[in-house]
């Protein structure tokens, strides 16, 4: 069943609440003060019965300018506007302001109820209708909304009004059900035996009894004990319905008007919003860069500084891109509509549409991407949002937030492969970002090789760490694999290099390398330790480390341990002599080895450990034997 929310709008005392009662049978003024003064102060709610195949909720808002903040809380989430204009007065200041707010909120469909038609004659009624149409043309740019003459007291025109509303409801798009659940709270209270109750319009998605929900921006958790739609219990409630939720785990003062109920971790409060701003032509005065304004989104009001991206000011009637620095957090997604009012005097000056929920610094903002997100096709918007993620990518769960597209729509676009993007793990990356990642990684590798010029390769871990400053881990892994397959780099175990990279030694370092090899060849099994080599060659430990590593990679030397190196020739001779010593199953003790090679314990122990490590010898209780000899008790 389709769910639609209709909201009233109009000047004070033009008969909105009376008309709502005539249409629904429900008196929406709840407070004693409202009834005593005959003046709507806060928003009220009723069920509007049209047909069995549509469920319509009706929100009645106050018309007095002193309560416009309450009107804004009720106007959010409205699909269809019921603009009430009294025939005996015609359009008044709040008529224009409410209609302008409806336009700023993106409410495209509506019906005009020309009330109190029993109080005027035919000629006056025609003048009132023409004035109403002129107001539509002035604010909306058209006069396509139907205008119905009605009297709530006599019943004249009520059926025609119902039919007009029904016709517009049929043409109003239903909100997405396959989407992330979100409900801005407009009322919260406690009922004995039930506990904390929150009400609002389900903006998107679905909520069910038993679901865990989060209350943002406070970031509190609760469980849904029960759900009601117009006093009827429901197991679940979809987008487009007025809903009351009984919440377990919260006190009534922990959730209030301005809170938002969500169920997905993708929703996060933000203190910076990128938006396309539009000032009303009759705003009176413009907006300056860094000016303090009131921002209304959902049922919440916060203060903010507006940072303009295309100049130092916006004049009435102009539009442009900006960033709102919020003094308190808001829960937003791309394509949300917001209303702007001056800090003082508190008048409505314009609105905007969210395009980024975590915009970069002003100098890094790309408004061309913002333009594609808001004005392009769904596939263009999805591609642009993923491009904005750059090398960090965009988590799949975040796509509905950063695009404003429903989960179901994103899934359909992804399955058709129309995103121009690649999924790696749980993140999406633009194809352009993959190319940029390749160049960034190679640039980092070049920089590491330049800093470590004596090395034939650099640490793979160092390259990963350098790239991880800008690239997501999934993209780092994928880029390494692609570059390796393309032979643009070589992965050598824990090290990596460009294929054409060669170590770069200075003249002195080249001489030191040759001297190092000569010293080790001369000293054979009694080589200097690393500190002794550094003193003898008169080089620092870092240089010596690199020279030793280069000689190892060339196969010229091998380490006995971390401090002693011998030439490969010496190591080969050592292994040959040991194999001859221990042939035919003979056992060698440390004393025998010492006598054979004539070295002190300082060199003997590292030498024997090297032979064990290389698999040449094996220790037994009696001494060392060749490693390929069978152990005692084993058959040969």
Instruction: Please check the confidence at residue 36 and state whether its pLDDT lies above 50.
Output: no
For 89, the enclosing helix (H) or strand (E) is none
Query: 3-class SS at 283?
Result: coil
* Residue, of 513 and 356, whose pLDDT is higher: 356
- What's the angle, vertex CA 145, arms to CA 141 and CA 150, rounded to 5? 135
337, 105 Cβ separation under 8 angstroms: yes
Instruction: Please check the confidence at residue 66 and state whether its pLDDT lies above 80.
Output: no
Is the backbone peptide bond immediately before 307 cis, with ω within 30 degrees of 0? no
The 10s digit of each residue's pLDDT in 9-23 is 888 777 788 888 888
Q: How confident is the model at residue 38 (pLDDT cuts 50, 70, 90)?
A: very low
Q: How confident is the model at residue 632 (pLDDT cuts 50, 70, 90)?
A: low
Instruction: Give the per-residue pLDDT at 547.
Output: 85
Calculate the alpha carbon distances from 408 to 328, 400, 405, 415 in Å: 31, 9, 8, 11
CA 83 to chain centre: 37
**Average pLDDT for the chain:** 88
Instruction: Please check the confidence at residue 30 and state whether its pLDDT lies above 70.
Output: no
* Residue, of 61 and 229, whose pLDDT is higher: 229
Of 29-43, 195-209, 479-493, the range with the lowest mean pLDDT is 29-43
Residue-wise DSSP of 539-597: --HHHHHHHHHHHHHTTSEEESSSSBEEEHHHHHHHHHHHHHHTGGG--B-HHHHHHHH
The 10s digit of each residue's pLDDT in 122-172 is 999 999 999 999 999 999 889 899 999 999 999 999 999 999 999 999 888
Contacts of 554 (CB under 8 A, 6+ apart): none
The 10s digit of each residue's pLDDT in 377-436 is 999 999 999 999 999 999 999 999 999 999 989 988 887 765 678 999 889 999 999 999
The 10s digit of each residue's pLDDT in 473-504 is 999 999 999 999 999 999 989 999 999 888 87
Percentage of the residues of the chain whose pLDDT score is greater than 90:
51
d(CA 632, CA 286): 97
Q: Where are the alpha helices (DSSP H) in 179-227?
A: none
The 10s digit of each residue's pLDDT in 450-468 is 888 787 888 999 999 999 9
Q: How confident is the model at residue 339 (pLDDT cuts 50, 70, 90)?
A: very high
d(CA 303, CA 320): 20
d(CA 373, CA 376): 6
Q: Of 393-407, 550-564, 594-608, which one has max mean pLDDT?
A: 393-407
Average pLDDT over residues 224-236: 92
Largest CA distance in the chain: 131
| DSSP code for 231 | T
Percentage of the residues of the chain whose pLDDT score is greater than 70:
94
d(CA 299, CA 105): 12
Measured over the CA atoms of residue 266, residue 267, residue 273 and residue 277, the dihedral's sign is positive
Instruction: Give the per-residue pLDDT at 588.
Output: 85
For residue 74, give both structure tokens: 């009720």
Contacts of 283 (CB under 8 A, 6+ apart): 316, 317, 347, 348, 349, 350
Calculate the alpha carbon distances from 459 to 465, 466, 497 in Å: 10, 11, 9
d(CA 135, CA 100): 10
* Residue, of 276 and 253, whose pLDDT is higher: 276
d(CA 475, CA 465): 13
d(CA 402, CA 381): 9
Instruction: Give the per-residue pLDDT at 42.
Output: 54
Contacts of 541 (CB under 8 A, 6+ apart): 530, 531, 534
Q: How confident is the model at residue 633 (pLDDT cuts 50, 70, 90)?
A: very low
Instruction: Give the per-residue pLDDT at 541.
Output: 85
Average pLDDT over residues 438-442: 95
Q: How confident is the model at residue 213 (pLDDT cuts 50, 70, 90)?
A: very high
587, 620 Cβ separation under 8 angstroms: yes
End-to-end CA distance of the chain: 85
List, in sequence order, every residue forming a beta bridge with 57; answer none if it has no partner. Answer: 5, 47
HEC sequence for 20-63: HHHHHCCCCCCCHHHHHHCCCCCCEEEEECCCCCEEEEEEECCC
Calculate the alpha carbon distances from 427 to 295, 380, 393, 402, 579 in Å: 32, 18, 6, 13, 57
Instruction: Give the per-residue pLDDT at 631.
Output: 65
d(CA 11, CA 74): 15
Instruction: Give the per-residue pLDDT at 133.
Output: 95
Q: What is the reported pTM?
A: 0.81
Tell me phi and psi for residue 496, to 5 degrees. -150, 150
Q: Based on the number of CB atoms within 10 Å of its own CB, is 194 exposed (0-12), middle (13-18) or buried (19 or more)?
A: middle
Instruction: Give the per-residue pLDDT at 157.
Output: 93
d(CA 571, CA 525): 8
* Residue, of 617 and 633, whose pLDDT is higher: 617
d(CA 580, CA 106): 92
Instruction: Please check the confidence at residue 529 and state whether its pLDDT lies above 50.
Output: yes
Instruction: Please check the confidence at residue 1 and state whether its pLDDT lies above 80.
Output: no
Of 278-282, 417-421, 466-470, 548-552, the range with the lowest mean pLDDT is 417-421
For 266, the enclosing helix (H) or strand (E) is none
d(CA 483, CA 284): 59
Instruction: Give the per-residue pLDDT at 34.
Output: 35
Angle subtended by helix axes 122-140 and 93-104, to nearest 10: 40
């Amino acid at each position: 069943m389709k769910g639609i929310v209709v909201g009233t709008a109009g000047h004070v005392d033009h008969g909105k609440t009376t008309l709502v009662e005539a249409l629904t049978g429900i008196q929406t003024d709840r407070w004693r003060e409202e009834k005593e003064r005959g003046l709507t102060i806060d928003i009220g709610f009723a069920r509007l019965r049209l047909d069995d195949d549509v469920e319509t909720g009706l929100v009645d808002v106050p018309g007095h300018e002193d309560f416009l903040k309450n009107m804004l809380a009720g106007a959010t989430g409205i699909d269809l506007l019921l603009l009430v204009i009294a025939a005996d007065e015609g359009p008044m200041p709040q008529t224009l302001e409410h209609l302008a707010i409806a336009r700023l909120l993106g409410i495209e469909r509506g019906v005009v109820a020309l009330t109190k038609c029993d109080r005027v004659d035919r000629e006056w009624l025609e003048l009132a209708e023409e004035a109403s149409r002129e107001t539509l043309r002035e604010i909306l740019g058209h006069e396509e909304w139907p205008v119905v003459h009605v009297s709530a007291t006599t019943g004249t025109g009520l059926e025609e009004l119902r039919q007009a509303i029904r016709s517009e409801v049929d043409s109003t798009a239903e909100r997405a059900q396959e989407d992330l659940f979100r409900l801005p709270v407009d009322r919260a209270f406690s009922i004995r035996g039930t506990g904390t109750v929150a009400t609002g319009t389900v903006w998107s998605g679905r909520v069910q009894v038993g679901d865990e929900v989060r209350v943002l921006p406070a970031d509190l958790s609760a469980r849904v004990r029960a759900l009601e739609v117009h006093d009827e219990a429901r197991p679940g409630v979809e987008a487009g319905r007025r809903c009351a939720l009984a919440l377990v785990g919260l006190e009534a003062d922990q959730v209030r008007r301005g809170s938002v109920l969500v169920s997905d971790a993708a929703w996060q409060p933000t203190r910076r919003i990128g938006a396309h701003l539009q000032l009303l032509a009759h705003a009176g005065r413009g907006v300056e860069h860094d000016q303090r304004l009131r921002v209304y989104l959902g049922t919440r009001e916060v203060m903010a500084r507006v940072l303009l991206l295309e100049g130092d000011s916006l004049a009435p009637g102009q539009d442009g891109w900006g960033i709102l620095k919020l003094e308190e957090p808001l829960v937003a997604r791309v394509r949300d509509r917001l209303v702007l009012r001056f800090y003082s005097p508190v008048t409505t000056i314009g609105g905007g549409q969210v395009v980024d929920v975590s915009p970069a610094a002003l100098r890094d903002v790309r408004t061309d991407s913002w333009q594609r997100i808001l004005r392009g096709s769904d596939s263009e918007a999805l591609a642009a949002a993923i491009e904005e993620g750059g090398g960090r990518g965009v988590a799949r769960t975040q796509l509905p937030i950063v695009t404003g597209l429903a989960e179901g729509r994103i899934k359909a676009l992804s399955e058709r492969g129309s995103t121009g993007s690649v999924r790696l793990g749980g993140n999406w990356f633009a194809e352009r970002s993959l190319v940029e990642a390749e160049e960034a990684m190679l640039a980092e590798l070049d920089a590491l090789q330049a800093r470590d010029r004596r090395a034939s390769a650099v640490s793979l871990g160092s390259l990963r760490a350098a790239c991880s400053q800008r690239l997501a881990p999934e993209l780092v892994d994928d880029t390494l694999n692609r570059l390796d397959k393309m032979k643009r780099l070589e992965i050598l175990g824990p090290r990596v290099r460009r294929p054409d990279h060669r170590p770069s030694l200075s003249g002195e370092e080249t001489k030191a390398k040759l001297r190092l090899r000569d010293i080790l060849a001369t000293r054979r099994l009694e080589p200097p330790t690393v500190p002794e080599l550094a003193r003898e060659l008169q080089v620092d430990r870092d240089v010596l480390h690199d020279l030793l590593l280069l000689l190892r990679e060339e196969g010229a030397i091998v380490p006995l341990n971390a401090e002693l190196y011998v030439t490969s020739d010496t190591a080969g001779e050592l292994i040959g002599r040991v194999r001859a010593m221990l042939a035919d199953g003979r056992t060698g003790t440390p004393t025998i080895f010492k006598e054979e090679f004539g070295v002190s314990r300082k060199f003997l122990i590292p030498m024997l450990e090297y032979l064990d490590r290389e698999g040449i010898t094996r220790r037994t209780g009696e001494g060392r034997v060749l490693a390929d000899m069978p152990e005692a008790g084993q058959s040969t």
